[in-house]
Amino acid sequence: LGQSDAGPLNPRRPGAEQTERLAALLHAVEGAERALVLTHDNPDPDAIASAAGLAFVLQKCANLQVSLTFGGIVGRAENRVLIEELGVRFERVEKVTPASYPVVALVDTQPRAGNNSLPAGQLVTVVLDHHPARPELTAVLFADVRPGVGSCCSMVVEYLRAAKLEPDRRLATALFYAIQSETLDLGREASEADVSASLYLYPRSDPAAISRIRHPRIPEGFFRAVHAALERAWRAGRVMCVPVGRLDYPDMVAQLADLFMRADGVEWVIAAGHFGDDLLLSLRTLLPNARAGEVVRAVVNGRGPAGGHDSMAGARIDVRLLTDAEIETLTASLFADLCVALGEDSNERRALVVDAGNPPEGHLPEGEDG
Ligand SMILES: [Mn+2]
């Protein structure tokens, strides 16, 4: 089939370019017996499933023994069920010695991206990612970085298909779910690769397992965080600002940003929450080509690693030396800076939900500590 015939009934097949990429990947790992696959901290579904998919390709095509790792924790209930359904073992990267592996592969992240726990100075053999390319990639033996692809898993699926490997049901399910999760059901930054991969995976996946992943039991802490966020969320024009306070787990901040993004009339959401030593920020927008990664980097202004895609981005600021009150002040000033950057006046703010703890407009009452 030619490319022009590709469509819902004919998912695009991997072409010559993809066969070459597979050959280059396999060449980069040639001769090794073991590989470490590392993804970003507090991994999301795209990170988890693309790591497992790359591990499968390396095992089957290069006969490598692969260790799957990440830093941070798996917080979201959906992601815990995803790993269970996938049936693979992930280890904390702190528990292994990356330098002892002849092959180190990063997926859904890059060297020095600021969101992974790769030890400083560790050489990286392979990078598969869909975030904007970083200068450090020049030191990587094989890098396939395509910011135009919505989900890293869709790139992994191309390797699988180029290698003529058949994913088992569990892997197909995880990859399918991850692509839908990362692209909001192919609505957010989805490319042809994401659509093709989804069409290829769906008949191979287990719908009941997808349902179990999408509809997990949710810990009470999530509801407490939603409550706190609802009481404190405010809007300035098209921008919604969501101070969450302390988080039970780090990726809750992204989960809340996605939830508030659904508010009618809102085009941008920023959520901020505090976990461990860090203030975590999550930015979302519905606008096309909005360069959210650059927006968040400008607002954070060197205070910590920041970046991301056109419509979703994040940042982390070390706040271990700050008091809770100082963290609140910092959060408020970051929100105000974002409003300015997006052309909204944060003095014109109004509460999303009006009650005693959230006056309709203006400042919080004296003594409010969140
Ligand atoms: Mn991703």
- The 10s digit of each residue's pLDDT in 274-284 is 999 999 999 99
- The alpha-helical segments, DSSP class H, found in the chain are 16-28, 45-62, 77-86, 152-162, 169-182, 192-201, 207-214, 220-232, 252-260, 292-300, 324-341
pLDDT at 12: 75
How is 291-315 classified by DSSP, letter by letter?
Answer: -HHHHHHHHHTTSS-EEE-SSEEEE
Q: Please name the residues in contact with 296: beta carbons below 8 A apart, sequence gap of 6 or more.
A: 281, 283, 306, 307, 308, 313, 314, 315
pLDDT at 286: 93
pLDDT at 6: 58
Q: How far apart are the C-alpha atoms of 284 and 314, rounded to whole Å? A: 9
Cβ contact 195:204 at 8 Å: no
pLDDT at 5: 57
- Token output for 234: 């405010």
Q: How far is the CA of 43 from the centre of ligand 1 (A)?
A: 9
Q: How far is the CA of 267 from the centre of ligand 1 (A)?
A: 21
Q: How far is the CA of 165 from the centre of ligand 1 (A)?
A: 22
Q: How far is the CA of 182 from the centre of ligand 1 (A)?
A: 6
- What's the alpha-carbon Rg for the chain, to the nearest Å? 21
Q: How far is the CA of 336 from the centre of ligand 1 (A)?
A: 28
Residue that the structure tokens 């010695």 belong to: 97
Q: How far is the CA of 315 from the centre of ligand 1 (A)?
A: 15
Q: How far is the CA of 58 from the centre of ligand 1 (A)?
A: 20
Q: Does residue 114 surpass a pLDDT of 90?
A: yes
Q: How far is the CA of 329 from the centre of ligand 1 (A)?
A: 31
Q: How far is the CA of 345 from the centre of ligand 1 (A)?
A: 32
Q: How far is the CA of 133 from the centre of ligand 1 (A)?
A: 13
Q: How far is the CA of 223 from the centre of ligand 1 (A)?
A: 26
Closest among 293, 294, 282, 236 to 258, alpha carbons compared: 282
Please write the tens of the pLDDT for every residue from 50-66: 999 999 999 999 999 99
Q: How far is the CA of 245 from the centre of ligand 1 (A)?
A: 25
Q: How far is the CA of 347 from the centre of ligand 1 (A)?
A: 35
Q: How far apart are the C-alpha atoms of 53 and 47, rounded to whole Å? A: 10
Which helix (DSSP H) or strand (DSSP E) does residue 74 occupy?
A: none
Q: How far apart are the C-alpha atoms of 281 and 302, rounded to whole Å? A: 14
Q: How far apart are the C-alpha atoms of 57 and 223, rounded to whole Å? A: 39
Please write the tens of the pLDDT for every residue from 294-306: 999 999 999 999 9
Query: What percent of the chain shows pLDDT beyond 90?
Result: 90
Q: 126-145: b or e for each residue (b if 16 or more CB lie within 10 Å)?
A: bbbbbbbebeebeebebbbb
